[in-house]
Amino acid sequence: MAAAAGARINCFLNPINSLNSKATTRLTTHLTFRLSRRRPPMFCTCASTSAAADDPFVLTTPLYYVNAPPHLGSAYTTIAADAIARFQRLLGKKVIFITGTDEHGEKIATAAAASNSSPAQHCDLISQSYISLWKHLDIAYDKFIRTTDPKHEAIVKEFYSRVLANGDIYRADYEGLYCINCEEYKDEKELLDNNCCPTHLKPCVARKEDNFFFALSKYQKPLEETLAKNPNFVQPSYRLNEVQSWIKSGLRDFSISRALVDWGIPVPNDSKQTIYVWFDALLGYISALSEDTEQPNLERAVSSGWPASLHLIGKDILRFHAVYWPAMLMSAGLGLPNMVFGHGFLTKDGMKMGKSLGNTVEPNELVHRFGSDAVRYFFLREVEFGSDGDYSEDRFINIVNAHLANSIGNLLNRTLGLLKKNCQSTLVIDSSIAAEGTTFKDTVEKLVEKARVDYESLSLSSACEAVLEISNAGNSYMDGRAPWSLFKQGGAASEAAAKDLVIILEAMRIIAIALSPVAPRLSWRIYGQLGYSRDQFDAATWTDTTWGGLKSGQVMAQPKPIFARIESQTEEENGVEAPKKVKKNKLPQPQQVVEA
């Protein structure tokens, strides 16, 4: 998209390639004001540092291209976003979780033609396949925006007109190499042999057009200053250097209209052209905020929650979000998002999984075979958020069996089994009293606090690890105390054993809340077995992870496995959502199940 080296731009109207220093100072002052309007200049997802506690936590996934149905790579961002949204809700924040589909442009029009559909029919169909996958994955989004929605079109036009009125749009000729899959003009020096795009491994095509340009170069200094003042704007921190060096190498104006693409929003000042798909799609983050019941209007949409707290994206679209988007917002006089987090890629045999390369794993099939909790847990636990991670089915089965079935599931099941046998499934003492004088409670408190800090800093894998460590500590406590033999001794030993069970079950209660952002169904099954209702589970907050929730007299439900091991189907009879049987020759050695 940035004008390629060797490409020619001939300005027809109002060329703006630099600002005088007085104008830059005015712009910078204006931006500083906009940035600090709602939140402090320190960027952090932590609710504690937020200026106004009642500001909503607005987070977004990218709006996915509808050239093909979703794959595991697209599901990954959305799973992570959902876990973060659920965690913020547990903290008591009002959350607006935005996702949606990016439906305009050449790539979509070509995909529609290839399937003998009109672009509109094609978009309806594929957009629906995203909605359906999100349902299967238990994604609890608040807004789903489609860029073909008329309210979006109205807001894009209004935004475009503002930028035009600010003198940041001009007309010019453009010639360069275009990657249709990236929907981006490429710099020749970033291409492989035969002008192939390094991401899609397909040749770029030569294009020459008369386009409208956005004066990105005018925002070079303001962007540099913004990043210098707010280094947390780009996360993880190692991606900031990359962004800073793009900016330092010089920002070129980019083309924001297409003369040869019909499938798009018409340019307000020239209906023969359509708005470039990226300029259009980024605005979905704002148009999503517009209520369906009201006349779409930029200011109203902005007042419903802009600026966003967090844009979650893959690292391949960082330049659009950390350079072009802030500059566009500055031009329109709108506040910047608090943070852009660029995660890594899910890879298969080292190559980015993608629709264009055709090396994807079908997410619906994974959910169908293993259940949504397993899929969510595996990717959040196994891939360090920010880094790349390779998918392997053996690893998947090993991890979910060891963590969810054995460490967590088996601990609950054997504890409830002992309680049923020896205490009529009823707690004999308050958990706060039961834990007096034990160090186990301190361990749980430290781990749950660690999980909270990890969730807040988006270290999702570490958060999962901290929760798992609670169950590992519970298993060690159980094995060390051996309550099954204490019960056999009777008297005081038996009383001590009954206390031990309360202690373990209290830890399970805390696990259920702390794991609920990642594995919501599994967490509910744990909570339900502890004798709570669905309403009580839905009303739980992070404060409820404080030790002492379980009280004497609480009656537990019948023990049932909460997570069936992947090679077993026996639990299906017990009403547990059991994964489909996996062929024996694909299975790793079964994990040892600890005896109660």
Q: Nearer to ligand MSP by C-beta: 345 or 477?
A: 345
Q: Does 313 sit near ligand MSP (CB under 6 A)?
A: yes
Taking the least distance from each CB to ligand MSP, the nearer of 10 and 132 is: 132
Instruction: Choose between 258 and 565: whose C-beta lies nearer to ligand MSP.
Output: 258
Closer to ligand MSP by Cβ: residue 302 or 562: 302
- Contact between 352 and ligand MSP per CB under 6 A: yes
The one segment of 63-71, 154-162, 229-237, 527-535 that binds ligand MSP by CB under 6 A:
63-71
Tell me if 279 contacts ligand MSP by CB under 6 A: no
Residue 73 binds ligand MSP, judged by CB under 6 A: yes
The separation between CA 539 and the C-alpha centre of its own chain, rounded to angstroms, equals 23
Find the radius of gyration of the CA atoms of the chain. 27
Euclidean distance between CA atoms 278 and 410, whole angstroms: 49
Nearest-CB residue to ligand MSP? 314
Q: Which stretch binds ligand MSP (CB under 6 A): 31-39, 58-66, 435-443, 542-550?
A: 58-66
- Are 57 and 88 in contact, with CB atoms under 8 Å apart? yes
Applying CB under 6 A, does 255 fall inside the site for ligand MSP? no
Q: To the nearest whole angstrom, how small is the minimum distance from the Cβ of residue 218 to ligand MSP?
A: 22
* Span of 240-248, 313-321, 461-469, 482-490 interacting with ligand MSP by CB under 6 A: 313-321
For the chain, the 3-state helix, strand and coil shares in percent, each to the nearest 5, are 50, 15, 35
- Provide the minimum distance between the beta carbon of 356 and ligand MSP in the complex, in angstroms, as a whole number: 9
Among 79, 145, 267, 282, binds ligand MSP (CB under 6 A): 282
Tell me, what DSSP letter sits at residue 61?
A: E
Per CB under 6 A, 316 contacts ligand MSP: yes
List 43, 345, 487, 563, residue binding ligand MSP (CB under 6 A): 345
Q: What is the DSSP string of 262-322?
A: -SSPEETTEEEEEE-HHHHHHTHHHHTTS-TTS---HHHHHHTTPSPSEEEEEGGGHHIII
Question: Which of the 8 DSSP states describes residue 561?
Answer: -
Q: Do residues 53 and 47 touch, judged by C-beta distance below 8 A?
A: yes
Number of residues that bind ligand MSP (CB under 6 A): 21
Residue 378 CA to residue 385 CA, distance in Å, equals 12
Binding region for ligand MSP (CB under 6 A) out of 56-64, 160-168, 237-245, 373-381: 56-64
Alpha helix ranges (H) inside 352-436:
363-370, 372-382, 393-400, 411-423, 431-434
- The enclosing H or E element of 343 equals strand 340-343
* Omega before residue 70 within 30° of 0, cis: no
Q: Least CB distance from residue 578 to ligand MSP, whole Å?
A: 28
**Toward ligand MSP, which CB reaches closer, 91 or 361?**
361
**Options 31, 50, 62, 235; binder of ligand MSP; rule CB under 6 A:** 62
For residue 214, give the H/E element and its range: strand 205-214
Residue 64 interacts with ligand MSP (CB under 6 A)? yes
By C-alpha distance, which of 150, 213, 158 is closest to 332? Answer: 158
Q: Does 346 bind ligand MSP (CB under 6 A)?
A: yes
Residue 307, preceding peptide bond in cis (omega within 30° of 0): yes
- Judged by the rule CB under 6 A, the positions of this chain that interact with ligand MSP are 62-65, 73-74, 76-77, 102, 281-282, 284, 313-314, 316-317, 345-346, 352-354
